[in-house]
Chains A and B, each alone.
Chain A
Amino acid sequence: MDPFESIKQTFFQECDELLTDAEQGLLDMESGTADSETINAVFRAVHSVKGGAGAFGLEDLIRFAHVFETIMDELRSEKMELTNVVAKTLLRAFDVLADHVAAARDGGQVDEARSSGMLDELKALIGAEGMEDEAADPDEDFGFVPVVLDLDEPGGFVSLDLPEPEAGLPVLEIPAEPEVANGVWIIKFAPGADMYAKANEAGLVLRELARLGPTEVTLHDETLPALDLLSAEQAYFSWTIRLTTEGDEASIREVFEFVEDDCKIEISREGGAPVSLETEPAEEISDDDAKARASAEAPLDLDALLARIGAVPTVEAVAEPVPESTPAPAPAPVVLEAIAEPEPVAVVAAPPPVIEEPAQDVAALIARAQTADVPVAPAPAREKAAPAAASNTPQPAAAATIRVDLDRVDRLINAVGELVIQQAMLSQRVTESGLARSSNVALGLEDLELLTREIQDSVMAIRAQPVKSVFQRMPRLVREVADMVGKRVRLVMDGEGTEVDKTVIERLTDPITHMLRNAIDHGLETPDERTAAGKPTEGVVKLRALHRGGRIVIEVQDDGRGINRPRVRGIAIAKGLITEEAILTDEEVDNLIFLPGFSTADSISDISGRGVGMDVVRRSIQGLGGRITISSEPGKGSKFTMSLPLTLAVLDGMVVTAAEQTLVAPLSAIVESLTPRMEDVHYVGGKDAVIRIRDSFVPLIDVGVALGFRDTPIHAASGVAVLVESEAGGKAALLVEAIQGQRQVVIKSLEANYQQIDGVAAATILGDGRVALILDVDALVTAQHRRKPAARSEKRLAG
């Protein structure tokens, strides 16, 4: 893939994470639990989004993120107070920011009116003056605004009276390139001590100049003091460079970009007036800058330096490093004790010999480290840095995670599935072979079994993820829905860390979304109604996840009006879902809302309904092998509870025999099993059987026939009926010959290995090595219902 595209993908992935963190931080800010680090983290997240957006030229995103970032910056520097209003505005702005990211990713459009309205709101928060420097200018160049030295400034560099290169100093000739229409420039370059302290090197600058064209470099070492007066901290050398180049002054100046604040530069055309530094505005030197310079240029306290390094007498100053230029006189080892008078060194701007790294003398380094007060370092940051630098045990910076392609995990899971099966087969064979339970083989096998299970659990855990990824999308949804219906809602989430298989997670979003919408739209009252009912105007919706009995349970609870049972009942009767005489318990009435075609909304509401009812929710949950129930108390609220398997890779099944085939029925679909009594079985049209189970008739499906293993159904009384419920809520009794037992089976996809078969969901391999088909209960029941609309006895459920 194009590296640029690949990095862009990384950017959007990262955006997701950043936005997630930012939203959490903003929520904390809203609830008042945020500390300064939270605000900082949000700032950084938005800042990173903007930074990346800048790299990809995502203008709209940059503009919006910039304003957002500005506010976060005001907040973190406490120029602005974090009020609830601010936090709420930021949360809404966050939604727009997320839209911008999504639009940038998917090439879509952001609602322009909403975005600019939000921008205005944000700008209003800080007041217009805060935004004046709206350098949202993504073209902010790679360069910088030069901060220029004012040579007359007290404490500024003392101008060196540099001799002209002709003054008979040794000159290093760089082979000249063919003459072009070039300008010849005379550049005077006098580094200050500071330049070296920042790890800039004169040699590199000269090298860069040489890239522009042929240079003649002259070294000035006049200020080099006697060796015994030489300070490793000072700068003593300067250079005059005669440069022939096609480039203009700007390109020359660019070479000095990093160093120009720490050295004196004069650039002039040969024979012309110096195009010197005065040509540029000098007002940009900040106070800090001046202070930094002042402190940097203060004479070094050599007495103090000597005192500190007293034990180490010599400092070896190493030859000057510029290969292209004149070699400096090789300094001999300097005995520091010999220094009599520090004053001469205090002459500012005398270039020192550059200390070459490999030969660095420890004492010199210590001396520099201890006395060179050059960086005006804020103390706290330094304290923070020091222990870190000192610690030798690397600690993981972020959560120790790796990203792995899902395919690889699935391959592993598949292999482990095979392992489990193989292990079960092996156990069975060993048992069959008559080896004693206490034999070494059997004991070893037992250990193997434990180990296999452990591996299986661990591998499943790789796919397990906290439901957080789904939960975290909900606050926004709740805000939006609440806005739309004019209700005040507080969402309380709990158990975000609860883990469940990735596939399950992906498919949880829709049901949870739907239930939350439903809770806000139907469950909660309007603020006025709530006040009238003596409740706080703000309704509370709780979203909770927990593990219970090897399944994950998700609850959505509201403190609203509860289910209006008489009304639900009325609707169910009106829609023919129940008979008028039906006697239902409260719970049964509540659960009527899950029936297909039931919707209590007077008009189909875009918010909770999108034209579908709770039956869709139930169906999708059942599709995951889950169940959903509701409990409700009038005036106090309702609670939806869904329970789902933790994984879709393993299934709890009931192993049955039909037409000599071993089949597996998913336990989640099974309501009960019973032995049919002949008097309960009736034949509709002389062929299709129905069975009476308590008060209702359900189709009796001979599984062997339905799957085509045989043509004629077995005698009902000789088999076992397994009452199942489809995802759609349709019931049927599956007639099989026998029930073998219950067990957990590893699901093997049929489509991947063979092809899809009607009535069969997947396959598994049993301990004896036989392949068993897993029944697709939904398909079986639906097929039956389709064939015989008359058998749709569901209506008589409670009749």
Chain B
Amino acid sequence: MTKTILTIDDSRTMREMLNHALVEAGYRVIQAVDGIEGLEVLQAQGADVVITDINMPRLDGFGVIEGVRADPNHRATPILVLTTESDAAKKERARSAGATGWIVKPFNPVKLVDAVRRVAA
């Protein structure tokens, strides 16, 4: 069955890049432009993997992770955080909040799909 990936990023460029790479790899992609919308879309449509940016208006990536983990229906959904931060503190914070893995921008499509595959059952 085609897996659905929810991408949450306020940058249209990034959403398009994710979309392109993931669709190419055979995934179905749904998009949200910030954390709040991401959680809403997840609730409404569900997803097999969530990919989220960290810096976003309204609700940031940490909030997304916490929101997903607090949702009984999705707390076992893998979450990949997408961020340019290379510093360990941010990634650690995301992990502490329950992120499954991470993708460091700029990413190449192979790495991205690799990371998705590594967390998608």
Taking beta carbons and an 8 Å cutoff, which residues of A are in contact with B? 3, 6-7, 10-11, 13-14, 40-41, 43-44, 47-48, 50-52, 54-55, 57, 133, 135, 138, 140-145, 147, 197-201, 203-205, 208, 255, 257-258, 261, 284, 286, 288-289, 292, 321, 355, 357, 360, 362, 365-366, 368-369, 374-378, 381-382, 384-386, 388-389, 391-392, 394-395, 397-398
Contact = CB atoms under 8 A, between A and B. Distances in A.
Contacts of A197: 69, 98
Contact of A375 (B16, B69, B102): B69
21 contacts: A3-B20, A7-B13, A44-B55, A133-B87, A141-B104, A144-B86, A198-B99, A199-B75, A200-B101, A257-B118, A284-B88, A288-B89, A288-B93, A289-B92, A289-B96, A355-B76, A360-B76, A369-B72, A376-B97, A382-B70, A394-B41
Interface of B: 10-14, 16-17, 20, 32-37, 39-41, 43-44, 55-60, 62-67, 69-72, 75-79, 84, 86-89, 91-93, 95-108, 111, 115, 117-121
Contacts of B40: 388-389, 391, 394-395
A14 B12 CA distance: 7
Contacts of B60: 381
B33 to A, nearest CB: 5
B88 A286 contact: yes
A40 B57 CA distance: 8
A199 B95 CA distance: 11
Given A14-B13, A204-B118, A398-B34, 5 more contacts: A51-B14, A204-B119, A288-B92, A382-B70, A389-B71
Contacts of B33: 397-398
B84 A47 contact: yes
Given A14-B12, A145-B88, A199 B58 contact: no
Main secondary structure of the interface of A (DSSP, over half): helix
Most buried by B among A10, A385, A391: A385
A368 B69 CA distance: 10
Nearest to B110: A142
Closest 4 CB pairs of A and B: A385-B67, A258-B101, A397-B37, A292-B96
A198 B62 CA distance: 13
A366 B73 CA distance: 10
Contacts of A366: 72
Nearest to A377: B66
Contacts of B102: 144, 258
Nearest to A57: B106
A52 B18 CA distance: 12
Considering residues A145, A204, A377, A389, which has the most beta carbons from chain B within 10 angstroms of its beta carbon? A389
Contact of B10 (A48, A55, A201): A48
Given A55-B17, A375-B65, A388-B59, A10 B12 contact: yes
B58 A397 contact: yes
Contacts of A135: 86-87
Contacts of B43: 389, 392
A392 B40 CA distance: 7
B118 A55 contact: no
* Chain A CB within 10 Å, residue with most, of B57, B95, B99, B103: B95
A385 B16 contact: no
B81 to A, nearest CB: 11
Nearest to B14: A51
Contact of A208 (B41, B87, B118): B118
Contacts of A57: 106
B75 A365 contact: yes
Contacts of A388: 35-36, 39-40, 59, 67
A277 to B, nearest CB: 16
Contact of A384 (B59, B71, B93, B97): B59
Contacts of A355: 76
B119 to A, nearest CB: 7
B93 to A, nearest CB: 7
A611 to B, nearest CB: 40
Contacts of A375: 65-66, 69, 96-98
Contacts of A205: 118
A622 to B, nearest CB: 39
Contacts of B34: 397-398
A201 B121 contact: yes
Which residue among B35, B41, B65, B98 has the maximum number of chain A CB atoms within 10 Å of its CB?
B98
B121 A203 contact: yes
A39 B4 CA distance: 35
Contacts of B41: 394
B63 A382 contact: yes
Nearest to A376: B96
Nearest to A147: B88
Given A199-B78, A289-B96, A51 B111 contact: no
Contacts of B115: 258
A503 to B, nearest CB: 26
A20 to B, nearest CB: 14
B101 A381 contact: no
B50 to A, nearest CB: 9
Given A144-B102, A398-B33, A286 B89 contact: yes
A200 B78 contact: yes
Most buried by B among A14, A44, A397: A397
A199 B76 contact: yes
Contacts of A43: 55
A101 to B, nearest CB: 12
A135 B90 CA distance: 15
Contacts of A289: 92, 96
A257 to B, nearest CB: 7
A13 B101 CA distance: 30
Contacts of B55: 43-44, 47-48
B78 to A, nearest CB: 4
B30 to A, nearest CB: 13
A369 B70 contact: yes
B36 A199 contact: no
A357 B73 CA distance: 9
A591 to B, nearest CB: 48
A667 to B, nearest CB: 43
Contact of B92 (A286, A381, A384, A398): A286
B56 A44 contact: yes
Given A7-B13, A10-B12, A397-B36, A382 B98 contact: no
A369 B92 contact: no
A618 B18 CA distance: 49
B63 A55 contact: no
A292 B92 contact: yes
Nearest to A357: B76
A374 B12 contact: no
A14 B11 contact: yes
Nearest to B36: A388
A14 B9 CA distance: 13
A201 B78 CA distance: 9
A43, A201, A255, A366: residue with the most chain B Cβ atoms closer than 10 Å = A201
Contacts of A284: 88
